[in-house]
Amino acid sequence: MRWIVALLLVLVGGVVQAAGALLIPEDNPRPIYPLALSRAGITGEVKARFIVRADGSVSEISILKSDHPDLAEAVRVALVQWRFKPWAVEEDKPEKQEVVAPIVFRLDLDQPIHVNQQLKVLRCRTVNENLANIAEYSWIDSAAFAQTRAYLTNVFHKTQLPDAQRLAMIAKMNRQVGTFVRACRETPTRKFISLLPAEIRELL
């Protein structure tokens, strides 16, 4: 489902500071976005350093910079599993290579910047359909709420609003998810946006 992709998607930036053999990825799982951070609307970047050996394995992983310790741990767990195509050690292809990779965690990578236009016309009927077979504890992760969080963390809002203000808006919405869903079920023709806190509606 698209909303799961939106929550789990991370951008692995271009690998830099690698010289010698051409590094070809073979099995490089994406770091898993910590659920608590994605729900809270927390984004960030991790810069990791590691060694790729001629057999394709990854070792000596270190975190050079991280915006949140949980993001750093997610990256560390993923990097342990990474494998590259092995190469033959030669004069110009050393036995090991150092790599520095920036890994960015964002909620809006697969969302159009104008997702607000979709949210403005979203009806409760559609929200209800998406929640038909979802347990109550997972309502918070459903498409409508995930897209709203992603919109509030896009580049425009991150540069125009203080983080504390944005995160407070998201936290307020998260606390009222159950109320919103029940209201949608009572009035399927209602617009989803009408249920959101006023400060969020103003940004949509």
Q: Does 176 reside within a domain?
A: yes
Give residue 31's pLDDT band: very low, low, confident or very high (50, 70, 90): very high
Whether 98 and 126 share a structural domain: no
In this predicted structure, what is the pLDDT of residue 5?
Answer: 26
Structural domain boundaries enclosing 133: 115-201
Torsional sign, CA 166, 159, 112, 105: negative
Q: Phi/psi of residue 3, each to 5°?
A: -70, -30
Whether 98 and 160 share a structural domain: no
Distance CA 36, CA 3 (A): 15
The DSSP bridge partners found for residue 66 are: 46
Q: Which residues of 176-197 are buried (b: 16+ CB within 10 A; e: fewer)?
A: ebeebbebbeeeeeeebbebbe
pTM of the model: 0.79
Q: Does 110 reside within a domain?
A: no
Whether 39 and 91 share a structural domain: yes
Q: Does 39 reside within a domain?
A: yes
105, 135, 160: which is the final residue of a domain?
105
70, 105, 140: which is the final residue of a domain?
105
What is the mean pLDDT of the segment spanning 48-56?
Answer: 93
Q: Does 152 reside within a domain?
A: yes
In this predicted structure, what is the pLDDT of residue 19?
Answer: 52
Question: What CATH number does residue 35 fall under?
Answer: 3.30.2420.10
